């Protein structure tokens, strides 16, 4: 990669912009948080204008100083929070409603009605997903059913809908491109995994008009060119796009079937490369598109944990037992164990393999001797323990045991958490030198799309290991902790 790539990582709580050169050096970085909106318990929204403003602010921050000029940027890659969706006016660019975030559980009753109507099988067979409020399709249905006048706007051909990548590309191109990539489309309940196109039957069941949906493209296809973006010149090609977890899988160089990664962000997400054929799960995991390069699609199995880093944020903002998220490791190390405390951070329900949207978090085992340090350690254990059932399900679906798991995301810098993960999973945890692999994956897609890299072999050779965490916990201690965890999960 001989030129500078601007990589946009639009996340759940903030937007990061990273400038990366051909030696995989992060030359500059910008980050801006934005508001989280909670209209009701279990409901989560974002204002799309806040997201756009956070992107512009992050671009300004990344380009501040004399190191780089906007004219140095040769291509743009985008990765994003996936299932969050926006519906906006094609003429004004204004959204008809706040974006409904992937964490939002407002469509639980819609999912229940669809299951009662016998529709889950057709959705799972065609999309590889389950009927859960997590996915975009029922969020779109809710908006079309509840936003006054929205269907009339569709008839007037003024409505555009899409996941966050579509919205950002539309704004970056000044309304000239209404597109998405195949990985984001695969998270909507509306795309057929085999055809990689919007499915008329599924759109009909959810009563989502197909004409509002974006065109589906590959991950390294040209999405459009910048136009009238503050701080950027016109004409920069946007030629890399993927949902955040697929971008991380790509950025971790997990190109061979059987290779897996876990990203720790607001949630935690395990993806396992299954090659060129979708593998149905018998354990309520998700079958999804990993990426598409040219005419070739690669698939993955995924297990999603809704709350990971957000549990630490809750300790910071809700309980105020820490001032900064980074303090949790030092606090947790003040005790050798949790003192019997177990923390299940099911703030918005449990993800894979349970898919129980109705449950909420629980902390068990509290005594008069419980301290801040015990709660901090229990929170880290809770993040790691949620992944144990997912990995077991993946091994069952694939018929093989994983010997190593690559990790990334902000919380992967926490050595205690990574050691816990190795101990509870019983496998090696491998952390790369560049832990911003989500942004790195988007940059790789953009570099391939712009012709700045030849093929994935260049990426494979560029990927570097930082540290390996080997399992150290004895079997009896591990079994005791897992038993206590499963008991707490049953109580939720």
Provide the CB-side half-sphere exposure for 453 (13 A, CA).
Answer: 28
Task: Give the C-alpha separation, 141 to 211, whole Å.
Answer: 14
Question: What is the DSSP annotation of 64-119?
Answer: -SSS--GGGEEEEEEEE-SS-EEEEETTT--BSSPEEPTT--TTHHHHHHHHHTT-
Name which residue leads in pLDDT, 55 or 277.
Answer: 55
Q: Distances from the Cα of 391 to the Cαs of 127, 246, 320, 409, 425, in angstroms?
A: 21, 17, 32, 18, 8
Q: Give the pLDDT confidence of 349-371 residue by residue, as tens digits.
A: 887 778 787 889 899 999 999 99
Where helices occur in 173-323 by DSSP H, the ranges are: 182-185, 200-206, 244-251, 309-317
In this prediction, residue 281 carries a pLDDT of: 87
Per DSSP (E only), the strands in 342-395 are 342-344, 362-364
Q: What is the mean pLDDT of residues 275-286?
A: 88
State yes or no: cis peptide before 102, omega within 30 of 0. Answer: no
In this prediction, residue 380 carries a pLDDT of: 96
Instruction: Assess whether pLDDT exceeds 90 at residue 184.
Output: yes
Instruction: Assess whether pLDDT exceeds 90 at residue 15.
Output: yes
φ, ψ at 188 (rounded to 5°): -100, -10
Instruction: Assess whether pLDDT exceeds 60 at residue 187.
Output: yes
Question: What is the DSSP annotation of 450-491?
Answer: TTSS--HHHHHHH--EEEEE---S-HHHHHHHHHHHHHHHHH
User: What is the Cα Rg of the chain in Å?
Assistant: 21
Three-state DSSP class for residue 288 = strand
Residues with Cβ within 8 Å of residue 132, at least 6 apart in sequence? 111, 355, 357
CATH architecture, range 4-244: 2-Layer Sandwich (3.30)
Q: What is the mean pLDDT of residues 288-298?
A: 95
Three-state DSSP class for residue 322 = coil
Q: What is the DSSP letter of 356?
A: B
In this prediction, residue 159 carries a pLDDT of: 96
Q: Give the pLDDT confidence of 218-277 residue by residue, as tens digits.
A: 999 999 999 999 999 999 999 999 999 999 999 999 998 888 999 888 888 899 998 998
Q: Which residue, among 300, 276, 279, has the nearest Cα to 289 in the 3D structure?
A: 300
Provide the CB-side half-sphere exposure for 49 (13 A, CA).
Answer: 7
Token pair, residue 379, equals 């929170």
Instruction: Assess whether pLDDT exceeds 60 at residue 2.
Output: no
Task: Give the C-alpha separation, 17 to 78, whole Å.
Answer: 9
- Class of residue 130 by CB neighbours under 10 A (exposed 0-12, middle 13-18, buried 19+): buried
In this prediction, residue 254 carries a pLDDT of: 92
Q: What is the mean pLDDT of residues 195-218?
A: 97
Longest dimension (CA), the chain: 65
- pTM exceeds 0.75, yes or no: yes
Apex 384 CA angle, 381 and 388, nearest 5: 120
Q: What is the mean pLDDT of residues 75-103?
A: 95
Q: Distances from the Cα of 368 to the Cαs of 163, 314, 315, 316, 371, in angstroms?
A: 47, 22, 19, 22, 8
In this prediction, residue 307 carries a pLDDT of: 86
Q: What is the mean pLDDT of residues 21-26?
A: 79
Instruction: Assess whether pLDDT exceeds 70 at residue 299.
Output: yes
In this prediction, residue 410 carries a pLDDT of: 83
- Class of residue 67 by CB neighbours under 10 A (exposed 0-12, middle 13-18, buried 19+): exposed
In this prediction, residue 383 carries a pLDDT of: 92
% of residues, the chain, pLDDT over 90: 72
Q: Give the pLDDT confidence of 132-182 residue by residue, as tens digits.
A: 898 999 999 999 999 999 999 999 999 999 999 999 999 999 999 999 999
Q: Give the pLDDT confidence of 304-348 residue by residue, as tens digits.
A: 888 888 899 899 999 999 998 889 999 999 999 999 999 999 888
Range name among 115-119, 129-133, 398-402, 469-473 with the lowest pLDDT average: 398-402
Instruction: Assess whether pLDDT exceeds 60 at residue 1.
Output: no
The kind and range of the H/E element at 152 are: helix 150-155
Q: Give the pLDDT confidence of 364-394 residue by residue, as tens digits.
A: 999 999 999 999 999 999 999 998 888 888 8
Q: Give the pLDDT confidence of 431-447 residue by residue, as tens digits.
A: 998 878 889 999 999 99
Q: Which residue, among 427, 359, 418, 337, has the nearest Cα to 383 in the 3D structure?
A: 418
**336 neighbors 380 (Cβ within 8 angstroms):** no
Task: Give the C-alpha separation, 463 to 471, whole Å.
Answer: 23
Q: Give the pLDDT confidence of 31-52 residue by residue, as tens digits.
A: 999 999 999 988 999 999 999 9
Residues with Cβ within 8 Å of residue 421, at least 6 apart in sequence? 262, 384, 387, 405, 407, 429, 469
- Class of residue 64 by CB neighbours under 10 A (exposed 0-12, middle 13-18, buried 19+): exposed
- Exposed e or buried b per residue across 393-422, where buried means at least 16 C-beta atoms within 10 angstroms of its C-beta: bbeebbeeebeebbbbbbbbbbebbbbbbb
Three-state DSSP class for residue 124 = helix
- Exposed e or buried b per residue across 439-465, where buried means at least 16 C-beta atoms within 10 angstroms of its C-beta: bbbbbbbbbbbbebbeeeeebeebbee
């Amino acid at each position: 990669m001989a030129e500078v790539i601007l990589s946009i990582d639009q996340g759940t709580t903030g937007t990061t912009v990273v400038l990366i050169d051909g030696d995989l050096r992060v030359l500059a970085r910008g980050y801006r948080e934005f508001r989280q909106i909670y209209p009701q318990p279990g409901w989560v929204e974002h204002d799309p204008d806040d997201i756009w403003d956070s992107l512009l602010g992050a671009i300004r921050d990344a380009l501040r100083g004399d190191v780089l000029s906007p004219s140095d940027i040769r291509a743009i890659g985008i990765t994003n929070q996936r299932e969050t969706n926006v519906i906006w006016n094609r003429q004004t660019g204004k959204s008809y409603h706040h974006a409904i975030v992937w964490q939002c559980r407002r469509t639980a009753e819609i999912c229940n009605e669809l299951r009662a109507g016998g529709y889950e099988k057709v959705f799972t067979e065609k999309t590889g997903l389950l009927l859960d409020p997590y996915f975009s399709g029922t969020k779109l249905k809710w908006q079309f059913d509840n936003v006054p006048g929205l269907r009339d706007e569709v008839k007037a051909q003024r409505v555009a809908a899409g996941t966050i990548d579509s919205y950002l590309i539309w704004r970056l191109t000044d309304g000239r491109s209404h597109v998405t990539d195949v990985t984001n489309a695969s998270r909507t309940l509306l795309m057929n995994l085999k055809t990689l196109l919007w499915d008329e039957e599924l759109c009909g069941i959810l009563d989502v008009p197909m004409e509002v949906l974006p065109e589906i493209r590959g991950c390294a296809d040209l999405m459009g060119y910048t136009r009238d973006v503050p701080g950027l010149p016109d004409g920069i090609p946007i030629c890399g796009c993927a949902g955040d977890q697929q971008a991380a899988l790509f950025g971790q160089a997990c190109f061979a079937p059987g290779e897996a990664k876990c990203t720790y962000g607001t949630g935690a997400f395990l993806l396992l490369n299954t090659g060129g054929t979708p593998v149905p799960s018998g354990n309520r995991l998700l079958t999804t598109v990993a990426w598409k390069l040219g005419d070739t699609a690669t698939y993955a199995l995924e297990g999603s944990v809704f709350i990971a880093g957000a549990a630490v944020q809750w300790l910071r903002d809700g309980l105020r037992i820490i001032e900064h998220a980074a303090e949790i490791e030092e606090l947790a190390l003040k005790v050798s164990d949790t003192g019997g405390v177990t923390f299940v951070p099911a703030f918005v329900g449990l993800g894979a393999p349970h898919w129980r949207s109705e449950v909420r978090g629980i902390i068990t085992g509290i005594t008069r001797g419980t301290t801040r340090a015990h709660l901090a350690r229990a929170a880290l254990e809770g993040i790691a323990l949620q992944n144990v059932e997912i990995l077991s399900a993946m091994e069952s679906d694939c018929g093989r045991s994983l010997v190593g798991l690559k990790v990334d995301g902000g919380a992967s810098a926490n050595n205690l958490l990574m050691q816990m993960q190795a101990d509870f999973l019983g496998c090696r945890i491998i952390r790369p030198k560049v832990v911003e692999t989500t942004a790195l994956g988007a940059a790789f897609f953009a570099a391939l799309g712009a012709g700045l890299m030849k093929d994935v072999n260049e990426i494979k050779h560029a990927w570097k290991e930082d540290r390996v965490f080997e399992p150290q916990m004895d079997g009896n201690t591990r079994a005791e902790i897992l038993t206590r965890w499963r008991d707490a999960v049953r109580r939720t």
